[in-house]
Structure 1
Amino acid sequence: MTNTHVKGRVLTRHAIYRHGQLVLQYYIKTAEGPVLAELYHSEVICFCRQQDVDQLSQKVGFALKAETISLLSFAHEPISALYLKSNTQLKLLGRIASDIGITLFEADIRPEQRYLIERFIALDIECSGHYQERNPTSTIPLLSINRARKMPSNELVDIPLKMVSLDFECSFTGELYSVGLYGADYQCVFMVGEPQAECHDFIVWVQNEVELIHHLIAWFSDYDPDIIIGWAVVTFDLALLFKRCVLHQIPLLIGRGHTELSWKVADKYRPETLSLPGRVVLDGIDWLKAAFYQFDSFSLESVSRQLLSEGKAIDHVENRGQEITHLFEQDKNALAFYNITDCRLVWDIFEKTQLLDFAIERAKLTGLEFGRVGASIAAFYHLYLPHLHRSGFVAPAQPASQGLESPGGYVMSSIPGYYKDVLVLDFKSLYPSIIRTFLIDPKGLVEGLYAREVKGDATTVAGYLGAQFSRKSPILPALVASLAEQRELAKRDRNAPLSQAIKIIMNSLYGVLGSRGCVFHDAKLASSITMRGHQIMKLTKQWIEECGYQVIYGDTDSTFVWLGDNHGIKDIQAVGKHLSVSITQRWLEWCVEEYQLDSYLELEFETHFEQFIMPTLRGSDEGSKKRYVGAVSNDQQQLTLTFKGMEQVRSDWSPIARRMQYHLYELFFKGEDVIDFLSNELAAIKCGARDNELIFKKRLRRNVEDYTAKSSPHVKAAKQLAELLGDVSVTRKGQQIRYIMTLTGAQTIEAKPQNIDYEYYICKQIKPIAEPILQLCGHSFDSLVNNQLLLL
């Protein structure tokens, strides 16, 4: 039988059972089209101590296949590999082992993941095997895998991925009205209703909801997309479609090869529980958050307005449920346009932000399933485990720490005040650089402690809380070095999605090691990163002040340097660059002198704030932390303001407070009158001229009944809204509540409240943001308000 080589991208991965045998399935997209690759006679693998094999074998009710291997536990105990036929056997083995106090290692690594992990395969794969004969109705070739490997970078081929944006419109009760489908040079809307003579040419008319579903299933088979995108596309659109199919008893066969969409956990409609063979689903909200985009609201209307300067094709977005039903009953042509516009907006957002490229690069780097968001711990396992095994160890079964935790990042006490010419110097990727410089590594910690305590080796690198790190082939520093090199190449090639993906992964490493949810967690590891960071920030401050400048604040990896009054420096940029280079050099020398290590700590000149304000804590003379405002001039000599930790950047403050805060600082930095502005705004608030800026928007983080503080304003407003509309869905987790403060407390704006509590806004919203500026001007808010009252 001829051996065939297949190169492509792993879209989805699955473990199934066929005739009592475990089969690993990988849907691969090749340059020629999709291929289903299967690995037969697979086994579920975990590990235990060699000394525990006999006892386990006596307790289980099946023949336990065990093999002695050359791996050790982190306690340096010999390990055996256990091979099981199914996850059912693994669960049984796990219960028995737990009952008799025996530890199993790596029992939570799924077989379809392990096969790829052990071969360093992330997204791009090369399989060798032979094609199997299939049912003539199946259009996807079936490859029986003999061997698989990571596709070498010099052999990568361009794999075109076919993407579609999907969006449903429905009634309040969930009955489907239409479905929009938008792709490259393609648009279509399946609409329930009688054909109309004058309508958009992309509408396909269907008689009813059942016919719509059947048309959509057939469409998936014909169009055959690799990727489905949308807005809440899993939690709303696909979940809704699934529920309607259950109602009508229609198998939802929209997976590749006419396979069925299903959920791994019943009634849990989340991305991680979705199973859709051969197709990747990317939710715009989740992936914008994964790429660290920030918006006041992640509604499609809000995000598209900010990114595309365009919104939904509907007049009353707030009441779109009623509007959609009205359009369905009165103007289906307009509903179809609204439907396809939503699809296009999602498509354009993905294009604008390069989200698909980001998702691809993240999958290449981490080995996580293409389309899986979050999962930083799982990503760490994928990166770390194959190297760990080749170094002679299995992963521990549980974290080493027993409640002894590490401190957070270093935050220096600030010196409050108004300054001119403040430099911000940042350490480039500080925590990853610490890991790389000081050889911080789970395996290195185990080997270092063993070498120090058992062998008396004095060449280890000391960390914190008694940590000792081996200098011998550490894994994590090498991974950081590789990621850093790839990021520099990505920057050079202007590959922004790859650069951002690497940055996020590198910065997640400390968080993973500091999480008790990670089996590699050890306070010695996390503290050796954060406490080393404290030392680095303190020494950096000392060295800068030895150069004659004052450090007024420091936070985690940033140092704020004031050049002083009347410094007479003509080229401030040159000073910033010189400081960063000289401090970086001192760290090079310090690391060699103290530890005989190469330093990868690099201080960069980030910003020159021409004007800078570090406020005090409210009601105190003490300087605040993580709060400041800085101003720089752009090329057109216009001021650009940067707010950190202030109300301006917090969505839970009212629009008027945020607008006024920005304008107050802008006026102050320009040397203009803040008192006149404040007086006019306060007068406008009291006479009702600013009512449209008093609306709070806050999202419910849990269902209303689960809140313990029932007096929370947005919770009270949500309950009022539910009573007003007769719809309890507005009290569910994730709903955004809009309310205004009245003399009787918070009221939903849908109730059209009239008795607005203007004094609340003046005292609780405007006063806190105005006082820091007024203090710098030699005034107080209370005196300003009292003077204004005297003028009335």
Structure 2
Amino acid sequence: MLGFWVLDVATEMEDGPVVWIWSIGEDGSRLIVKEPFTPIFYLTGGDLKEVYKCLEAYRELPISGFSMVERRLLGKPLKAVMVSSKTDELEELAEKLMRRCGAEGVFEADVRASSQFLLRRGLRPSSWYAVEASESKVVGGFRVYRASGDYQKLERVEAPALRVLAFDSFSLASRGTPKPEIDPVIVTSAVTDGGEERQFSGGEERLLREFISFVESYDPDVVVGFNTNRRLLPYMAERCRRLGFRLSIGRLGAEPRTSVYGHQSLQGRLNIDLYDLAEETPEIKLETLEEYSSYLGLKVEYDTIDEYDLAEAWSRERSRVLDYSMQRARGILEVYRAVSDYIFSLSEITGLPADHVLTAATGFRVENYLMGLAMEAGELVPPRGEATYTTYAGGVVMEPRAGLHEDVAVIDFKSMYPNIMMKYNISFDTLSVDGVHRTPNLPYSFKEEAGFIPRALKRLLEERERARSLADMHPEGSVERRVLEARQRALKVIANATYGYMGWTGARWYCREAAEATTAWGRETIRSAMEKAKELSLEIIYGDTDSLFVRDDPERIKSLLRWISEALGLEARVDRRYRRILFTEAKKRYGGLTIDGKIETVGLEIVRGDWSAIAKEAQLSALEAILKEGGEEALKRVRVTIKALREGRVPIKKLIIWKKLTKGLEEYEVAAPHVAVAKRMIEAGWDVKPGDLVGFIIMKGKGRLYEKAVPYFEADQSKVDVDYYIEKQVIPPVVRLISAVGIPERTLKSLASI
């Protein structure tokens, strides 16, 4: 038996489709496990006997076989013709056959061959397996094995020792954003997990060739960067092409190629783009390497140079640019080390290779997990459609009791939506007009027989409990505990995302009724818990979707938790306790001081991206003062901030307001500062597109606000509109807080004139 860890999977055409499993052997060797694989699709509808006869007439097409089979579609039995293909170009073949043979539906032709292989064979990337195999030959220094028989999953927790190379690269723009057609790469820095550091600079052709040579000689299993998919790898590949050679940094001399979800695939290696992980982290606003490193609590130092300042820094302080490039490569490696266990856990659970799982949106991750279960159960995977989105009611959010409250406990329903879906058997295949589980205030009901989605959730939550139990068996700080804790976090993420998946219009198993019913049961659950809390004389301060904020009364809380378990059949616990918590009059906006002295905020400007840093600092400082000392101290702190602004002592970077472009510039009907600045940047040669963050500063002058906004890198400190920052950036977010503790708004506004 050959034991190996699945690194990546690809389909290559030899005599027919052959799957290459790039792997790490149990002895640490790098190897390839090959298996010929016949991808399939299904034809349904029409007269299947006629479809079958028709297929017999088209032997010239790349079909290796076909048969009549019984499957299920959305839980209902269905007959279909299963077609085996000699090519991995399934969709074109399937459409041609459907038209010629009179079938009415095609299933699974849009699931690519390598994904079909993993799903049908029950193989999960980033996992250990054993299989009967015979060594056939050596390809490019890699031992190649031919697999035969079934794959057996090995109970090994940790990943093998992988060779990791982190890199970063800078390009020099002649004007605006660097353009690969004309602007050269000036430096590339690389750091390996073995401690080797290399920097390549000087002539562009030489540095690129030396970087390629270094990658080839180190032969990493993982290449990790920040914004490599959308920026660095396509840029470097284009520069190489213009210089007459290829960016051959994949194994067997392959260059990067665009794959699913916009991922840049490197043959035989994982291309991990950490930007994708930073982008999906709500707490990360500017989506920079520096911000993500700080968020993870890493002690990495960066002497940051903005892209807008790079050209000038290169001409005046070249050594600083070189140092910053290496700092970024080191930082990328440290971030990878901090998140790699989570990445590999997410990969194993969803069945997506570790580099694909980051570029895939959450819905695609959930879907790939469900596709594996569907194929295992004989359930056809529906083609992806795009339903029309219609809104439906969400969770309960009660009006908060504005003001400062002491000794508050937060009762959290554990995985509320997944547990509701299991309890009431909510699924696309259990939806019925006469089911036993009738949704409150909605005309939907669900059958008793266990549905597909509840079964999937049950498996996820059972795996999570198992991971938590196993983690507890290992000592703190051990590799096993660290990996198992990352696994249980990843399982929780996928389980909690399944409810949202049902309401996602792009889902293969889209079912608005199921998503709507889940939130309806959620509202009913929270309302029932609130009524019981009142019955127990437990003071409720706020309620939000799956949480209740109550006066901390341990005995009454214990009674409520017991009732939730016994009467509702759900699990709830005290998630956190606050010494003091401040609620504004708006829903979902509060800040509190936990019993261990930390300040936590939800919905305040502090955690929103479209306010300047000075606004956030002023609000956080005022909040801290209110929670620890009182409203008068908050006023003193605001006075200090206003004085610093008046005297020009606030660093200009704290005045930048960041706003995301959500659509093309021509689609904006109302002039806004970030739109005006984006247009100005484009005229100056910068590449600005939807999805980008635009940073601007408001300057003195006449006219509307958008006419006074300039790109932050063009701002002159002496010309900043200080009155705007005091009246529109500092005072408004603080007003929300001090008003809640009884200090009139006019008191704060009177400070603006100092």
Q: TM-score, normalised by structure 1?
A: 0.82
The corresponding residue for 1:431 is: 417
1:418 to 404, 428, 432: 404
Tell me, what secondary structure is at the counterpart of 2:17?
strand
Matched, 1:225 2:220: yes
Larger Rg: 1
The corresponding residue for 2:720 is: 756
- State the Cα deviation string for residues 523-581 of structure 1 (Å, max 9, x = none): 232123211101100000000110012222211111111x3xxxxxxxx5xx34x4454
Give the whole-Å Cα distance in 2 for the aligned partners of 1:439 and 1:580.
29
Give the whole-Å Cα distance in 1 for the aligned partners of 2:233 and 2:460.
38
Q: Is the 8 Å Cα contact of residues 580 and 604 (structure 1) preserved in structure 2?
A: no
Paired amino acid for 1:250: F
Q: Is the 8 Å Cα contact of residues 67 and 81 (structure 2) preserved in structure 1?
A: yes
The corresponding residue for 2:192 is: 183
Give the whole-Å Cα distance in 2 for the aligned partners of 1:693 and 1:287.
25
The structure-2 alpha-carbon separation of the partners of 1:284 and 1:389, relative to structure 1 and needing over 3 Å to count, comes to: closer
The corresponding residue for 1:481 is: 461
Give the whole-Å Cα distance in 2 for the aligned partners of 1:17 and 1:548.
70
Matched, 1:514 2:492: no
Give the whole-Å Cα distance in 2 for the aligned partners of 1:18 and 1:522.
41
Matched, 1:715 2:668: no
Once the two structures are TM-superposed, the CA of residue 484 in structure 1 deviates from its matched residue by: 3.2
2:42 to 35, 39, 46: 46
Q: Is the 8 Å Cα contact of residues 584 and 603 (structure 1) preserved in structure 2?
A: yes
Once the two structures are TM-superposed, the CA of residue 147 in structure 1 deviates from its matched residue by: 2.8
- State the Cα deviation string for residues 363-409 of structure 1 (Å, max 9, x = none): 11111112221343333343333433444432344679776664222
The structure-2 alpha-carbon separation of the partners of 1:585 and 1:176, relative to structure 1 and needing over 3 Å to count, comes to: same
Once the two structures are TM-superposed, the CA of residue 236 in structure 1 deviates from its matched residue by: 2.5
The structure-2 alpha-carbon separation of the partners of 1:676 and 1:245, relative to structure 1 and needing over 3 Å to count, comes to: closer
Give the whole-Å Cα distance in 2 for the aligned partners of 1:732 and 1:393.
39
Q: Is the 8 Å Cα contact of residues 7 and 151 (structure 1) preserved in structure 2?
A: no
Once the two structures are TM-superposed, the CA of residue 784 in structure 1 deviates from its matched residue by: 5.0
1:275 to 265, 282, 292: 265
Once the two structures are TM-superposed, the CA of residue 42 in structure 1 deviates from its matched residue by: 2.2
Q: Is the 8 Å Cα contact of residues 68 and 81 (structure 1) preserved in structure 2?
A: yes
Tell me, what secondary structure is at the counterpart of 1:128?
strand
Give the whole-Å Cα distance in 1 for the aligned partners of 2:556 and 2:303.
53
Once the two structures are TM-superposed, the CA of residue 182 in structure 1 deviates from its matched residue by: 0.7
The corresponding residue for 2:604 is: 646
Give the whole-Å Cα distance in 1 for the aligned partners of 2:730 and 2:401.
25
Q: Is the 8 Å Cα contact of residues 181 and 189 (structure 1) preserved in structure 2?
A: yes
The corresponding residue for 1:128 is: 132
Q: Which stretch of structure 1 is more off in the superposition, 760-769 or 501-510?
A: 760-769
The structure-2 alpha-carbon separation of the partners of 1:674 and 1:304, relative to structure 1 and needing over 3 Å to count, comes to: closer
The structure-2 alpha-carbon separation of the partners of 1:107 and 1:300, relative to structure 1 and needing over 3 Å to count, comes to: same
Tell me, what secondary structure is at the counterpart of 2:162?
coil
Percent identical residues? 19
The structure-2 alpha-carbon separation of the partners of 1:51 and 1:375, relative to structure 1 and needing over 3 Å to count, comes to: farther
Q: Which stretch of structure 1 is more off in the superposition, 502-511 or 317-326?
A: 317-326
Tell me, what secondary structure is at the counterpart of 1:371?
helix
The structure-2 alpha-carbon separation of the partners of 1:499 and 1:134, relative to structure 1 and needing over 3 Å to count, comes to: closer
Give the whole-Å Cα distance in 2 for the aligned partners of 1:362 and 1:9.
15
Once the two structures are TM-superposed, the CA of residue 712 in structure 1 deviates from its matched residue by: 1.9
Give the whole-Å Cα distance in 1 for the aligned partners of 2:87 and 2:405.
67
Paired amino acid for 1:83: S
Q: Is the 8 Å Cα contact of residues 490 and 499 (structure 1) preserved in structure 2?
A: no
Q: Is the 8 Å Cα contact of residues 415 and 552 (structure 1) preserved in structure 2?
A: yes
The corresponding residue for 2:176 is: none
Once the two structures are TM-superposed, the CA of residue 271 in structure 1 deviates from its matched residue by: 6.5
Q: Is the 8 Å Cα contact of residues 394 and 519 (structure 2) preserved in structure 1?
A: yes
The structure-2 alpha-carbon separation of the partners of 1:113 and 1:641, relative to structure 1 and needing over 3 Å to count, comes to: same
- State the Cα deviation string for residues 305-335 of structure 1 (Å, max 9, x = none): 564444335677761233235555xx5xx65
Tell me, what secondary structure is at the counterpart of 1:133?
strand
Once the two structures are TM-superposed, the CA of residue 702 in structure 1 deviates from its matched residue by: 5.6
Paired amino acid for 1:488: R
Once the two structures are TM-superposed, the CA of residue 170 in structure 1 deviates from its matched residue by: 2.9
Q: Which stretch of structure 1 is more off in the superposition, 689-698 or 175-184?
A: 689-698
1:470 to 442, 448, 462: 448
Give the whole-Å Cα distance in 1 for the aligned partners of 2:208 and 2:750.
67
Q: Is the 8 Å Cα contact of residues 581 and 603 (structure 1) preserved in structure 2?
A: no
2:618 to 657, 660, 676: 660
Could you list the runs of 5+ residues in structure 2 that have no partner in the other structure? 174-181, 475-480, 703-707
Give the whole-Å Cα distance in 1 for the aligned partners of 2:739 and 2:687.
46
Tell me, what secondary structure is at the counterpart of 1:505?
helix
Q: Is the 8 Å Cα contact of residues 25 and 38 (structure 1) preserved in structure 2?
A: yes
Give the whole-Å Cα distance in 1 for the aligned partners of 2:255 and 2:131.
25
Q: How does 1:574-585 map to 2 (within 5 A)?
A: 575-576=553-554, 578-585=555-562
Paired amino acid for 1:746: A
The corresponding residue for 2:490 is: 501
Give the whole-Å Cα distance in 1 for the aligned partners of 2:653 and 2:313.
25
Tell me, what secondary structure is at the counterpart of 1:421?
strand
1:766 to 696, 715, 730: 730
Once the two structures are TM-superposed, the CA of residue 220 in structure 1 deviates from its matched residue by: 2.6
Q: Is the 8 Å Cα contact of residues 48 and 80 (structure 1) preserved in structure 2?
A: yes
Tell me, what secondary structure is at the counterpart of 1:643?
strand
- State the Cα deviation string for residues 402-452 of structure 1 (Å, max 9, x = none): 766642222123332332232211111111221232233344x16xx4xx8
The corresponding residue for 2:110 is: 108
Paired amino acid for 1:18: E
Give the whole-Å Cα distance in 2 for the aligned partners of 1:314 and 1:612.
36
Give the whole-Å Cα distance in 1 for the aligned partners of 2:206 and 2:751.
71
The corresponding residue for 1:197 is: none
Matched, 1:605 2:574: yes
Q: How does 1:615-634 map to 2 (within 5 A)?
A: 615-616=584-585, 624-634=586-596
Tell me, what secondary structure is at the counterpart of 2:537?
coil
- State the Cα deviation string for residues 294-315 of structure 1 (Å, max 9, x = none): 3332323444456444433567
The structure-2 alpha-carbon separation of the partners of 1:648 and 1:165, relative to structure 1 and needing over 3 Å to count, comes to: same
Give the whole-Å Cα distance in 1 for the aligned partners of 2:361 and 2:292.
25
The structure-2 alpha-carbon separation of the partners of 1:629 and 1:41, relative to structure 1 and needing over 3 Å to count, comes to: closer
Give the whole-Å Cα distance in 2 for the aligned partners of 1:717 and 1:397.
42
Tell me, what secondary structure is at the counterpart of 1:625?
coil
Paired amino acid for 1:761: Y
Q: Is the 8 Å Cα contact of residues 659 and 694 (structure 2) preserved in structure 1?
A: yes
Could you list the runs of 5+ residues in structure 1 that have no partner in the other structure? 194-207, 265-269, 564-571, 592-598, 617-623
Tell me, what secondary structure is at the counterpart of 2:326?
helix
The corresponding residue for 1:11 is: 7
Give the whole-Å Cα distance in 2 for the aligned partners of 1:130 and 1:663.
67
Give the whole-Å Cα distance in 2 for the aligned partners of 1:788 and 1:213.
55
The structure-2 alpha-carbon separation of the partners of 1:158 and 1:106, relative to structure 1 and needing over 3 Å to count, comes to: closer
2:204 to 209, 222, 228: 209
Q: Is the 8 Å Cα contact of residues 232 and 284 (structure 1) preserved in structure 2?
A: yes
RMSD: 3.3
The corresponding residue for 1:298 is: 287
Give the whole-Å Cα distance in 1 for the aligned partners of 2:672 and 2:386.
40
The structure-2 alpha-carbon separation of the partners of 1:746 and 1:30, relative to structure 1 and needing over 3 Å to count, comes to: same
Q: Is the 8 Å Cα contact of residues 421 and 611 (structure 1) preserved in structure 2?
A: yes
Once the two structures are TM-superposed, the CA of residue 509 in structure 1 deviates from its matched residue by: 0.9
Give the whole-Å Cα distance in 1 for the aligned partners of 2:728 and 2:103.
58
Give the whole-Å Cα distance in 2 for the aligned partners of 1:647 and 1:146.
59
The structure-2 alpha-carbon separation of the partners of 1:361 and 1:673, relative to structure 1 and needing over 3 Å to count, comes to: closer
Once the two structures are TM-superposed, the CA of residue 477 in structure 1 deviates from its matched residue by: 3.9
- State the Cα deviation string for residues 690-716 of structure 1 (Å, max 9, x = none): 463761231543686355156221222
The corresponding residue for 1:160 is: 161
The corresponding residue for 1:739 is: 697
Paired amino acid for 1:143: Y
Give the whole-Å Cα distance in 2 for the aligned partners of 1:419 and 1:249.
68
Tell me, what secondary structure is at the counterpart of 1:211?
helix
Tell me, what secondary structure is at the counterpart of 2:513?
helix
Paired amino acid for 2:123: I
The corresponding residue for 1:250 is: 245
The corresponding residue for 1:589 is: 566
1:695 to 648, 655, 662: 655
Matched, 1:531 2:531: no
The corresponding residue for 2:327 is: 341
